[in-house]
Amino acid sequence: MALYAVGVSEPATPSAKTRTAWKLLLVLPYLALCFPRLYARATPELFGFPFFYWYQLLCVILTAALLGLVYRKLRY
């Protein structure tokens, strides 16, 4: 048990149910890329890049942000 200053409580640890809910968010990036028929097309273009490429790049960036969010919520 760590020592804390007067009036400062221990950080709250998430319950098992809350931890599971946060972990389930990590399924979203998998589902976003699981069905290529939904995004395997050339239009719309963004800065000359076909949709197929910029959609995947956007998924990588959003996945990194989501992983960071889940990590921050679940760390002890």
Q: Domain coordinates of the chain in residue numbers?
A: 32-74
Choose among 42, 40, 33, 38: nearest CA to 60. Answer: 33
Provide φ and ψ at 38, rounded to 5°. -75, -25
Q: Is the full-model pTM beyond 0.75?
A: no
Which carries the bigger pLDDT value, residue 53 or residue 17? Answer: 53
| Angstrom distance (rounded) from CA 66 to CA 1 | 30
Rounded to an integer, what is the distance from CA 46 to the centroid of its chain?
23
| Mean pLDDT over each residue of the chain, to the nearest integer | 82
| Angstrom distance (rounded) from CA 2 to CA 52 | 50
With cut-offs at 50, 70 and 90, classify the pLDDT of residue 7. low
